[in-house]
Structure 1
Amino acid sequence: MLIDYSLYLVTDRSFLNGRGFKECVEQAIEGGVTLIQLREKNISTREFLAIAFQIKEITSKYNVPLLINDRIDIALAVDADGVHLGQSDMPINSARKILGENKIIGISANTLNEALEAESCGANYLGLGPIFYTTSKKDINTPIGLDGLKEITKKIKIPCVAIGGINSSNTKEIMESGVNGISVISAILGEEYIKQASEKLNTIIKSI
C-alpha cells in the first residue's frame, strides 16, 4: 500500500466542543487529510472499539488509511491499516509478529538515536517531534526544533512526519525540512471550519 503521509490528522475529541466526531473527521478528509490516527485516552476498551468502528466507516468510504494509537488489539478488531506506537509501547518486533507484514507500524521519535533504532527494527514511518511546544500533549518531550528535524530527516530513509505545535503559519518551513508530511490535531479539529482548515494546510503542502 502506497501511503500519502502529507496531511496526517491525529484525533482528539476534546477540541470538538460538542460537535459530532464522525462528521468532523469526514470534513477533515474532504478538506484534504490523507491519513487518520485514532487517539483515545482514558476510555474503556469497549468504548474505544465502538468509536474505532465508526471512524473506520468514514476512512473506508474515502479510502483513507486508519491507524490506531497504541492499541494493537483495537487495530486488529476493526481491521485498521496499522498502529502508531510510542517509545514506551510494545516493541516493533513484537507488534509486527501480531499484526503481520502488511500492516503499517509508525513510531514516535524525539532523537536521532530513537529514529535510527525504529528504522532498523522495521518501522514503516516515524512521527518526529515535538517540533515546537504544544498544548495537545501534557507528557511532552523537549522540542527538537527545525534544526533537529533536518538532522534526523537527512539520515533516515523511511517516511517522516513532523508533529507538535504545527499550524498554517509554520507548515511551509517544516515541509521544506525534508519531511513527508505534517501531523496535526488542533490546527484542524480546533478550528471552527474544519474542512476549510484542512484545505488551507493542504494547499500549503502542495505548494512546496
Structure 2
Amino acid sequence: MKTFDLSVYLVLDPDLCSGIGMVETARLAVEGGATIVQLRDKHADIAQMIETGRALKAALRGTGVPLIVNDDVDAAIAIEADGVHVGQSDMVAVMARQRIGRDMILGLSVETEELARRVDPSVIDYVGIGPVFATATKPDHKQPIGFDGLARIVSAAPVPAVAIGGIKAEHAGPALTAGAKGIAVVSAICGQPDPKAAARRIAGEIEKARA
C-alpha cells in the first residue's frame, strides 16, 4: 500500500541549495516537517543524479519521508527512490509506470482541467498542479493559474493534488481551501538561512489551515 503525505512537498533546486547543498537542505527540512522530498536537477547527468539521490536516500533513511526523482526514471530505479515525477513533456506516464512497476509513487504535472480529467488513477498516484504563480525557479513555465484555476483543476483530477509554482508558507491556507492536499515549495525552503525553521513554518500553516 502506497502511503505518502503531500502536505509539505520540498522540491530541491541545486542552485538555490548551493550554500549548504541539497542533502543537508533536505535533512533539515525534514526535521522541520517536510513530508516529501523531490530531487530536481535539470543540469545533472545520470551519474550525478544517482550520486546525489543515494546520498539523499541515506539522509532520509528512517524518517518515513519518500524521495521522488524528477523526470529521470533510470536514475530513480538505480537510486531505489520511492517514486518519480514526470511532466507533460517528459516520459509518457504509462511508460514510466511500466518501467518503475506498481510499488513506486508516480506523480504527474498538470496545467489544465483537460489534462487533469485525462489522468488515469491506476497509473498516476498524485498530480502537481500549477503554476499557481509565476516562478523564477522554472522560467519556461506555463501561464499562472491562481487559486481559482487551482480549484478548478483539482476538482477535475481523480487523484490527490499538490499546488506548485511560486508558493510560500502564507499560501497554504488558500491552496488547501482550493482542494490541494499540500503545497510544493522550492525557494520557500531552498536557500533560506534556516531550512528547518522554514519547513516548520510551512507545516504550521498547513496545520492551521486544516484546523
Q: Is 2:118 the partner of 1:112?
A: no
SS in 1 for 2:99: helix
Find the aligned partners of 1:169 and 1:207 in 2 and give their Cα distance: 11
Query: Are 1:93 and 1:121, in contact at CA under 8 Å, matched by a contact in 2?
Result: no
Structure 2 partner of 1:145 = 146
SS in 2 for 1:67: strand
* Structure 1 residues without counterparts, runs of 5 or longer: none
Q: What does residue range 68-83 of structure 1 map to in structure 2 within 5 Å?
A: 68-83=69-84
Tell me which amino acid in the other structure corresponds to 2:37: I
Q: Over the residues paired in the alignment, what is the CA RMSD in angstroms?
A: 1.3
Find the aligned partners of 1:94 and 1:207 in 2 and give their Cα distance: 39
Tell me which amino acid in the other structure corresponds to 1:207: K
Find the aligned partners of 2:21 and 2:85 in 1 and give their Cα distance: 24
Structure 2 partner of 1:95 = 96
Structure 1 partner of 2:179 = 178
Find the aligned partners of 2:131 and 2:122 in 1 and give their Cα distance: 22
Tell me which amino acid in the other structure corresponds to 2:60: T
Query: Are 2:117 and 2:158, in contact at CA under 8 Å, matched by a contact in 1?
Result: no
TM-score normalised per structure 1: 0.96
Identity level (%): 38
Structure 1 partner of 2:25 = 24
SS in 1 for 2:163: strand
Deviation at 1:32, TM superposition (A): 0.2
Find the aligned partners of 1:22 and 1:155 in 2 and give their Cα distance: 35
Deviation at 1:65, TM superposition (A): 0.4
Q: Is 2:140 the partner of 1:162?
A: no
Query: Are 1:92 and 1:118, in contact at CA under 8 Å, matched by a contact in 2?
Result: no
Query: Are 1:127 and 1:161, in contact at CA under 8 Å, matched by a contact in 2?
Result: yes
- CA-to-partner distance for each residue in 1:124-172, whole Å, 9 max, x for gaps? 1000000011111011100111111111222323110000011122222
* Structure 2 residues without counterparts, runs of 5 or longer: none
Q: Is 2:50 the partner of 1:49?
A: yes
Query: Are 2:119 and 2:157, in contact at CA under 8 Å, matched by a contact in 1?
Result: no
Find the aligned partners of 2:157 and 2:44 in 1 and give their Cα distance: 35
SS in 2 for 1:74: helix
Tell me which amino acid in the other structure corresponds to 2:126: Y
Query: Are 1:191 and 1:197, in contact at CA under 8 Å, matched by a contact in 2?
Result: yes
Q: Is 2:178 the partner of 1:193?
A: no
TM-score normalised per structure 2: 0.94
Find the aligned partners of 1:153 and 1:138 in 2 and give their Cα distance: 23
Tell me which amino acid in the other structure corresponds to 1:170: H
Find the aligned partners of 2:96 and 2:171 in 1 and give their Cα distance: 34
Find the aligned partners of 1:157 and 1:145 in 2 and give their Cα distance: 20
Deviation at 1:120, TM superposition (A): 5.5
Query: Are 1:92 and 1:121, in contact at CA under 8 Å, matched by a contact in 2?
Result: no
Find the aligned partners of 1:31 and 1:127 in 2 and give their Cα distance: 22
Find the aligned partners of 1:82 and 1:23 in 2 and give their Cα distance: 20
SS in 1 for 2:9: strand
Deviation at 1:41, TM superposition (A): 1.3
